[in-house]
Amino acid sequence: MKNPIRIGIIGGGQLGKMIAQEAKRMSFEIIILDPSEDCPASSLSDELILADFKNELAIKKLAKKSDIITYEIELANSKALKSLESQRYPVYPSPETLRIIQNKFRQKSFLMHNHIIVPKFDLVRSEECLRNLCTEYGLPAMLKACEDSYDGRGNFLISSKNKIYQALEFFHGRQCMLEKFIPFIKEISIMVARNSHGQIVSFPVSENIHKNNVLDMTIVPARISKKVGLKAKKMAEKTIGALKGAGIFGIEMFVTNDEDVILNEVAPRPHNSGHYSIEACSISQFEHHIRAILDLPLSKPRLLTPAVMVNILGSEGHIGPYKIKGIRQLLAIPGVKLHIYGKKISKPRRKLGHITVTAKNLLEAMSTAERAKRTIRVVVE
Ligand code: ATP
Ligand code: MG
């Protein structure tokens, strides 16, 4: 293996930063492409190319300077990456996988054709079409913008027929699909890594609690039956088997009252619900992403301790500089690890950092996590 390996990453957010942290431990070089000079990963990168994620010239420059390209955001330019790949340049996960995942309708169609259970869905072609779909699926139903949505910002819950017009207005003109509402009892996810040799390993199942559409807390191990755990693992590995390319993938799923497991969506990158693996597993999702894209051996991640992760989010009603208060008190709590991403500006519900709590049992980890959450505050400067 060439040393040092130069890894080019499109996107310099917290995921890029945490990939870089693991890469640096092994002395790999990191080159980041991001439009912001002070993006979270900038402090750990050997070089920063300042450009939009979709800028073809900048992507070519990144390729020239790196041995391999990966991405930490779905906004990357799948067309430009495909053109690199056609010149035998290594891009992982495959740009075709990115293209499929970038559009929620394309993604769900792909999953359905590969016999993976997803909620009923269809493209909304007109207001009349939406009205008919609402009648067919029943209400509530979830209207989703097909592209460029994250943290639930591309979702609108249609609770009654008189909300249909408002829902369409909300996305004015963007391509949308309607999804049948799943009255889930739990949301879970699994991180799965695959290298180019086809070796596949999965992480333990995480249980995810969302607040206002954003992930608030991840609990590991998930409080589910063995049967649901096995179903979820099988579904996650089948999904990765159907998608091309190496890397780590986050598979989000719903669990119903009847113990059915339904796939919600796939992320072709490290995932917020896998952050716990840094402290709680024998290997983290970030190291496995690096190993997977470099076609290195993937060891089976073992859960070393129960863990709870809570996100630190920007406060409502404030855009601008901020301070995180309570760090001294937080760090006095045993079992707490603090991650601050270093974003310069806070926005409502923006992910600014996270806390992982490990403890000898889940109950203790959960009560410590609640205490940790109360201790830390994001305040306006
Ligand atoms: P993220 O970036 O947080 O993964 P996203 O913007 O890509 O989210 P989704 O994962 O599709 O959006 O949806 C966000 C949340 O909305 C889900 O985690 C779930 O709580 C809820 N949700 C989405 N689809 C459905 C559905 N069909 N039925 C019930 N709830 C849903
Ligand atoms: Mg999601």
Q: Which ligand is nearest to the CA of 74?
A: 1
Region 148-158: mean pLDDT is 90
Ligand 1 center from residue 213 Cα (angstroms):
7
Quote the pLDDT of residue 170: 95
Q: Is the CB of 268 under 6 A from ligand 1?
A: no
**Residue bearing the CA closest to ligand 1, atom 12:** 152
Q: Where are the alpha helices (DSSP H) in 138-225?
A: 164-170
DSSP, residue by residue, 87-100: TT--BSS-HHHHHH
Considering only CA atoms, which residue is closest to atom 13 of ligand 1? 152
Query: Is 98 within the bounds of a domain?
Result: no
Q: Which two tokens stand for residue 132?
A: 């008919």
Q: Is 274 in the pocket of ligand 1 (CB under 6 A)?
A: no
Distances in Å between the alpha carbon of 317 and those of 128, 351, 381? Answer: 36, 15, 14
Beta carbons within 8 Å of 126's beta carbon, 6+ residues apart: none
Ligand 1 probe mutation, 107, 118, 142, most atoms within 8 A of CB? 142
Q: Which domain holds residue 155?
A: 120-180
Question: How many whole angstroms from 189 Cα to the centroid of ligand 1?
Answer: 12
Quick check: CB of 142 below 6 Å from ligand 1? yes
Which among 84, 49, 35, 77 has a CA at the least distance from the CA of 63?
84
Mark whether 206 and 259 lie in a shared domain. yes
Domain termination site, one of 39, 71, 91: 91
At 350 the three-state DSSP class reads coil
Whether residues 220 and 293 share a domain: the answer is yes
Tell me the chain's radius of gyration from C-alpha atoms: 20
Report residue 6 CA to chain centroid gap.
24
Question: Taking Cα atoms as reference points, which of 213, 216, 192 lies closest to residue 149?
Answer: 213
Same domain, 267 and 372: yes
Give the strand pairing for 6-10 and 68-71.
parallel
Output phi, psi for 209, to 5 deg: -115, 120
Q: What total number of domains does the chain contain?
A: 3
Which listed ligand is nearest to 183 at the C-alpha? 1
Mean pLDDT of 253-273: 98
CATH number of the domain bearing residue 272: 3.30.470.20
Q: Does residue 311 lie within any of the structural domains?
A: yes
CATH number, position 48: 3.40.50.20
| Domain end marker among 162, 180, 198 | 180
8-state DSSP, 205: P
Kindly state the tokens that stand for 191. Answer: 């991180």
249 and 230 part of one domain: yes
Together in a domain, 308 and 172: no
Which single residue is written with the structure tokens 């994001």? Answer: 378
Q: Which atom of ligand 1 is nearest to the CA of 121?
A: 27
Query: Given this model, what pLDDT does residue 149 score?
Result: 87
Contacts of 168 (CB under 8 A, 6+ apart): 124, 127, 130, 143, 176
Measured CA to CA, the distance from residue 286 to residue 112 in angstroms comes to 29
What pTM does this model have?
0.97
Rounded to the nearest whole angstrom, what is the distance from the C-alpha of residue 9 to the centroid of ligand 1? 26
Q: What is the maximal distance between C-alpha atoms in the chain?
A: 61
Domain-embedded: residue 105: no
Residues 198, 320 share a domain: yes
312 in the same domain as 367: yes
**pLDDT given at position 130:** 97
In a domain, 276, yes or no: yes
Question: Does the beta carbon of 152 lie inside 6 Å of ligand 1?
Answer: yes
Q: What is the CATH number for 154?
A: 3.30.1490.20
Q: Is 266 in the pocket of ligand 1 (CB under 6 A)?
A: no
**Same domain assignment for residues 328 and 205:** yes
**Residue 326 backbone class (left: φ over 0; alpha: ψ -120 to 50; beta: rest):** left
**Mutational pocket test of ligand 1: of 72, 157, 210, 213, the residue with most ligand atoms within 8 Å of the beta carbon:** 213
**Cα 47 to Cα 59: distance, rounded to the nearest angstrom:** 14
d(C-alpha 271, C-alpha 290), whole Å: 14
Q: Which ligand is nearest to the CA of 105?
A: 1
Residues 116-125: what's their mean pLDDT? 98
State the ligand closest to the CA atom of 213.
1
Report whether residue 182 contacts ligand 1, using a CB cutoff of 6 Å: yes
Residue 2 has pLDDT above 80, yes or no: no
In the predicted model, what is the mean pLDDT of residues 207-222? 95
Say if residue 171 is in the same domain as residue 193: no
Measured distance CA(13)–CA(1) in Å, rounded? 28
Which of 91, 112, 128 delimits the end of a domain? 91
CA distances from 113 to 74, 117, 177 (A): 22, 10, 17
- Please provide the distance, in angstroms rounded to a whole number, between the alpha carbons at the two ends of the chain: 48
pLDDT for position 244: 81
Nearest residue to 157 via CA among 175, 141, 139: 141
Neighbours of ion ligand 2 (CB under 5 A): 252, 265
| Whether 226 and 269 share a structural domain | yes
Average predicted confidence (pLDDT) for the chain: 97
Q: DSSP 3-state assignment of 117? A: coil
Domain contains 114:
no
Residue 135, both tokens? 């009648």
Question: How much is the pLDDT for 245?
Answer: 83
User: Do 250 and 349 belong together in one domain?
Assistant: yes
Residue 43 to residue 124: CA distance in whole angstroms: 43
In a domain, residue 106? The reply is no
Give me the phi and psi of 131, to 5 degrees please. -60, -40
Give distance in angstroms: CA of 132 to centre of ligand 1: 22
* Tens digit of each residue's pLDDT (9 = 90 or more) over 300-355: 999 999 999 999 999 999 999 999 999 999 999 999 999 999 999 999 999 999 99
Q: Give the mean model confidence (pLDDT) for residues 100-112.
A: 98
Residue 1 has pLDDT above 80, yes or no: no
Which residue shows structure tokens 């699909």? 177
Ligand nearest to the Cα of 150, by number: 1
Using a 6 Å cutoff on CB, does residue 256 contact ligand 1?
A: no
Residue 59 token pair: 């992507």
201 and 320, same domain (yes or no): yes
Does 150 or 194 have the greater pLDDT score?
Answer: 194
Distance 159 CA to ligand 1 centre (A): 15
Ligand 1 centre distance from Cα of residue 84 (Å): 32
Domain contains 250: yes
**Which residue type, as a one-letter code, is found at position 137?**
Y
pLDDT value at 380 more than 90: no
Residue 110 lies in a domain: no
